[in-house]
Amino acid sequence: MTTLITARQMIWADVLRLRKKRGFIALVLAAVIAPIVIVTGYNVIQHASDPAAHAPAGGLHNYARLLDMLGVFMGPVAAVLIGAEAGAGDLAAGVFRDNVITGRSRLALFLARIPAALIVCLAVTGLGFAIGLAATFGFAGGLPTPNASLILESAAWLALANAVVCTIAIGVASLTGSRPGTIAGLIGWQLVLSPLLVQSSSLGSLRNGLLDGAVLFLKPGPVSGSPAITMSVAVAVLVLLVWLAVLPSLGAWRTRTRDA
């Protein structure tokens, strides 16, 4: 019982240190919300100025674009920022050593970072999704809108996509002990290298091992278009699990063995 209470307190303590970093939270929110606001605003103005040439800013088509922004581009960027801060923030502040000398298990210290970061990450993603959803319905005009089932599937997919990236970022940050290195490396991978590799048909089935390929394959059907890589759901889930097992495990190992 005491262990559970301690675990819960440690998680909320990590949430506290993340959410109270106001500049950082502002940056993360800006990364997620600003693109939605800018794109929607631009579309609203275009539609208002020439309704015949430009479709309304909401509706199903724009909803698909919202999912791309939140699940493939800016959502993962925010997830990387949050994961890097959660994974290496205590090292950067020098507090990791003080936590270790309490006698608390280093594995427990590492494990507390994951749910804490996910709480913040999913709250930010959820806020972005809520704003995007409001725009989808609010500016739909006469266009079709997503039904409840698609909204639920989309929410689940967004949570999965960003949670996976966030957890991986915690693992990499804990492994390297460097926030800037983790952020630069993972954003470079996520926004540049990985999309290029997904599109490189010459790599054949090797692309099945890419995180992006699996995430995009699991995107809800009605708004996914045709995925660049085809695979079974089982393979996609397996790919995600392997990514989730390897990098966080390395992070946990380094947290346990690091000289504090």
Partner 1 sequence: MQTVGLTKRFGERTAVDGVSLVVPRGAAYGFLGHNGAGKTTLIRMLLGLTRASAGSATVLGLPVPAQRAEALARVGAIVEEPSFYPHLTGRENLEIAAAVRGPETRSRIDQVLHRVGLDKRAGDRVGTYSLGMRQRLGVARCLLSDPELLILDEPMNGLDPGGMLEVRRMIRELVEEEGRTVFISSHLLDEVEKTCDVAAIIDGGRVIAQGSIEELVADRAGELVIECDDTERALSLLAGDPTIRNLRREHGGLRMSLVAREQAGEINSKLVTAGLVVTRLEPARRSLEERFLEMTTRLEVAA
Q: How far is the CB of 62 from partner 1 (least distance, A)?
A: 37
Query: By three-state DSSP, how is residue 1 classified?
Result: coil
**Is 104 a binder of partner 1 (CB under 8 A)?**
yes
Query: By three-state DSSP, how is residue 181 classified?
Result: helix
Q: How far is the CB of 44 from partner 1 (least distance, A)?
A: 36
Instruction: Select 9 or 147, whichever has its Cβ closest to partner 1.
Output: 9
Q: How many Å apart are CA 105 and CA 3, to the nearest integer?
A: 11
Q: How far is the CB of 33 from partner 1 (least distance, A)?
A: 22
Q: How far is the CB of 109 from partner 1 (least distance, A)?
A: 7
Q: How many Å apart are CA 143 and CA 161, to the nearest integer?
A: 27
**Is 100 a binder of partner 1 (CB under 8 A)?**
yes
Count of residues in contact with partner 1, rule CB under 8 A: 29
Burial 224-259 (b: 16+ CB within 10 A, else e): eeeebbebeeebbeebbeebbeebbeebbbbbeeee
Instruction: Select 118 or 223, whichever has its Cβ closest to partner 1.
Output: 118
Of 16, 127, 130, 152, the one binding partner 1 (CB under 8 A) is 16
Q: Which residues contact 190 (CB under 8 A, 6 or more apart)?
A: 76, 77, 80, 165, 212
Of 38, 97, 127, 156, the one binding partner 1 (CB under 8 A) is 97
**Is 196 a binder of partner 1 (CB under 8 A)?**
no
Span of 15-23, 36-44, 176-184, 244-252 interacting with partner 1 by CB under 8 A: 15-23
Q: How far is the CB of 11 from partner 1 (least distance, A)?
A: 8
**Is 256 a binder of partner 1 (CB under 8 A)?**
no
**Is 21 a binder of partner 1 (CB under 8 A)?**
yes
User: Residue 37 in contact with residue 134, Cβ under 8 Å?
Assistant: no
Q: CB count, 10 Å around CB of 219?
A: 22
**Is 27 a binder of partner 1 (CB under 8 A)?**
no
Phi and psi at residue 178, in whole multiples of 5°? -125, 120
Q: How many Å apart are CA 76 and CA 131, to the nearest integer?
A: 17
Q: Which residues contact 49 (CB under 8 A, 6 or more apart)?
A: none
Phi and psi at residue 25, in whole multiples of 5°? -65, -40
**Is 93 a binder of partner 1 (CB under 8 A)?**
yes
**Is 260 a binder of partner 1 (CB under 8 A)?**
yes
Q: How far is the CB of 170 from partner 1 (least distance, A)?
A: 17
**DSSP type of residue 94:** T
Span of 13-21, 77-85, 146-154, 204-212 interacting with partner 1 by CB under 8 A: 13-21
Residues in contact with partner 1 by the rule CB under 8 A: 2, 5-6, 9-10, 12-14, 16-17, 20-22, 89, 93-95, 97-105, 109, 259-260
